[in-house]
Structure 1
Amino acid sequence: MPRVFLDTERMANLTSGLGQLCLHLGRELVRQKPPGWEITFLVSREQVGIFGPLATYKVAAKWRRLWHPWKFDVWHCPYQGTRFLPGRSTPLIYTILDLNYLSLPEYSLQRRARQKKRYQQRINQAVAITTISAYVAQDIREQLAVPAHTPLQVIYCGVETPSKAPETPPSIRPDGPFLFFIGMLQPYKNVHTLLPILEAFPEYRLVLAGPDDRPYGQEIREQARQMGIADRLLMPGPIDESTKWWLYANCDAFMFPSLLEGFGLPVVEAMALGKPVFCSPLTSLPEVGGSDAFYFSSFEAADVVETFRRGMEAFRNDPAMPDRLRQQSQRFRWETVAADYWKLYQQVYSGEMSQLQQQASNAL
């Protein structure tokens, strides 16, 4: 019986992005499990059984990072920061979500070099590498050394959306029409460039949701105060799922001017509710947003305001656009992600890697 192992240890924090990725991927992999296959998940002791009786489980422990006797036919690390690796004889599929860490200015050159070395060691061990966008695949090839015989495959991230948006307003809600952003407030998210929109459109509020315990959050507040728009800027900090989906459902537009994204999950979430999306034209965002998102030509105040003005006018005059946005969001479904991974697991197990390796060499 073929046996596949997934390191889902990061589900120990289910409120994190990695925790949610492991949870949704694991659920769909179990649902699609082919007959005759066994799937095992690495989890905390409290989460044994989380995927039901069709899966088996190994308990994560620190000492297991150094030694474990586990034998599997395929070993999948679904994020690059894994702390558990197989022996050299076990085929490893290594997923790199993004290399953003290597571009953040607050980290020293020495720290970045150490991280690159760790990533490179795992790449050298892997029989296949996957990532969540073509942009990240290109970034991997530019920053790391992928052997010519190692396939590098894009398997987009899935997005879980509710069947129905919450109807009950949350305690945190604007008192008028509003624009919405969600994400960790760091300089590369570039959200300060949105403030001129509040100057130009006094009917709007702007909600910036997400952790804001870094200096950047205070800088945004101070800039809004100096511009005289602080009363229309809401920064509630982290929000729960119900509040998030209510804000998506009730905003006039979703704003995402980020400069550095491996995938851009919030863009897909907003599109799933048929909302107009205004975002950066950089990194993976055009890949995810598609042809119906609106892209800032620059982040000069006048360009940002004009892009927003023209985009909202185009959205209001195109009644079919919400359906096209929803259709674009359907490209990123967990059932598609899991089906692609089961295909890859079966190729690795059955020895069909030569075909994948030839495709990898041809792509160079």
Structure 2
Amino acid sequence: MRNIFVDTERIRDLNSGLGQTCLHVGQELVRQQPAGTSLTFLVPPGQTGVFGEPSGTLHYREASWRYKLRSPGWFDVWHNLHQDGAYWPAQRPDRLILTINDLNFLERTDYSEAKKQRKLAAVQRRIDRAQVLTTISDYTETVVREHLNVPAGVPLQTVYIGVSELPVPPVEPPAALINLNKPFFLYLGVLHPKKNLHVLLAIAQAFPDYMLVLAGRNDNPYARHLSEQVSQLGVDNVLQTGPVDELTKSWLYAHCEAFLFPSLSEGFGLPVVEAMSVGKPVFLSRLTSLPEIGGREAVYFDSFEPADVVETLRAGMRDYYDDPLKAQRLQWQARRFRWHNTAKQYWQLYSGE
């Protein structure tokens, strides 16, 4: 029996991209689990059973400070699904796999150079313990090789994360959106400075007959700063929804005019793939991993000056409606990224292939 341990503790925050990754990777690993293997998942307290009832080949360990200090048991394979994992094996497994999602802290202007170097050093220590490294985009692999030392003989490969089929959206808008009675442009994700959302306020000004919907966690100073800017501009067509559930998210994707994602730093960009999967036009920055994910079918902001942002949206929407096959090609681009493929590649790594 080959014993595999996977750290999915971050499902504690399903409103984050990492939480969604842990959830869907875990689900797909169980679906594809081959005979002769045993899976153990690290999960938050109270989440035992999240991937199926415990059995002789499916086990759970609940995260705790005791488990952080001393992880009992021995495993053939230990997989940390992100580089900041706090849980490490007390006994060295035959194969420790570390997935590096991003090094986005290198782009943060609010971090000193000393802090960036400390964080790089912490990631390097984890790399030095691993026998296999994966990243979630070719861009992230390039950044890792540029800023960190990958030991000779340690493989480093890209394993793309995926997108699940969205649930069928409700016919009527969810209760939280009952007053959304205009066509709207959508951003979905945490409201954070690196997402560069303030540049979208020019769109709210230029398109008063449309709403700008910013959906995601907004309990932070940047979200409050956005609200203050909206008040100063005197516009009334910007809606911060806060976190949304899966049905609400599906409704938003299905009914938006376009998806806007001017982020400054992304290791992947899961909401972009979700929007493309339903054939919606996506407008992205040209930075970090986003051109790799959006491909030729996305529209890119070449400048964040207000007039340029507005003109990029106008031109992109004209092209979208003038091209009857555009929505279909966007869906084809999204199909490159599937959780089934993610888990398949991980199982190959677990078996030593």
TM-score by length of 1: 0.89
Shift of 1:35: 1.7
Larger displacement relative to structure 2 (161-170 or 273-282): 161-170
Partner of 1:362: none
Relative distance call for 1:164 and 1:197 in structure 2 (3 A) is same
1:152-199 deviations in Å (ceiling 9; x for gaps): 111111222324222221233322111011122222211111222233
Helix, strand or coil at the partner of 2:27? helix
1:1-364 map, 5 Å: 1-52=1-52, 53=55, 54-86=57-89, 87-173=91-177, 174-228=180-234, 230-347=235-352
1-structure distance, mates of 2:4, 2:272: 32
Letter in 1 for 2:204: L
Relative distance call for 1:49 and 1:320 in structure 2 (3 A) is same
Shift of 1:16: 4.0
Shift of 1:203: 2.2
| Gap runs ≥5 in structure 2 | none
1-structure distance, mates of 2:15, 2:316: 33
Letter in 2 for 1:142: E
Relative distance call for 1:13 and 1:200 in structure 2 (3 A) is closer
Count of residues in Structure 1 that have an aligned counterpart in Structure 2: 347
Shift of 1:311: 0.5
Does the CA contact (< 8 Å) of 1:97 and 1:132 recur in 2?
A: yes
2-structure distance, mates of 1:158, 1:224: 34
1:231-260 deviations in Å (ceiling 9; x for gaps): 111122222222222111111111001111
Shift of 1:302: 1.9
Relative distance call for 1:74 and 1:233 in structure 2 (3 A) is same
Relative distance call for 1:190 and 1:40 in structure 2 (3 A) is same
Does the CA contact (< 8 Å) of 1:76 and 1:94 recur in 2?
A: yes
2-structure distance, mates of 1:82, 1:276: 35
Relative distance call for 1:20 and 1:199 in structure 2 (3 A) is closer
1-structure distance, mates of 2:28, 2:247: 23
Partner of 1:359: none
Larger displacement relative to structure 2 (219-228 or 185-194): 219-228
Relative distance call for 1:276 and 1:15 in structure 2 (3 A) is closer
Relative distance call for 1:172 and 1:45 in structure 2 (3 A) is closer
Relative distance call for 1:14 and 1:186 in structure 2 (3 A) is closer
1-structure distance, mates of 2:243, 2:15: 11
Shift of 1:271: 0.7
Larger displacement relative to structure 2 (33-42 or 312-321): 33-42
Does the CA contact (< 8 Å) of 2:10 and 2:19 recur in 1?
A: yes
Does the CA contact (< 8 Å) of 1:71 and 1:90 recur in 2?
A: no
Does the CA contact (< 8 Å) of 1:179 and 1:207 recur in 2?
A: yes
2-structure distance, mates of 1:259, 1:281: 8
| Gap runs ≥5 in structure 1 | 353-364
| Superposed CA RMSD | 1.9
Shift of 1:108: 4.1
2-structure distance, mates of 1:300, 1:220: 17
1-structure distance, mates of 2:246, 2:139: 28
Relative distance call for 1:194 and 1:10 in structure 2 (3 A) is closer
Shift of 1:120: 0.8
Relative distance call for 1:318 and 1:40 in structure 2 (3 A) is same
Helix, strand or coil at the partner of 2:175? coil
Does the CA contact (< 8 Å) of 2:15 and 2:216 recur in 1?
A: no
Shift of 1:291: 0.8
Relative distance call for 1:60 and 1:310 in structure 2 (3 A) is same
2-structure distance, mates of 1:96, 1:64: 22
Shift of 1:313: 0.5
1:299-335 deviations in Å (ceiling 9; x for gaps): 1122111111111001001111111111111111111
Shift of 1:109: 4.0
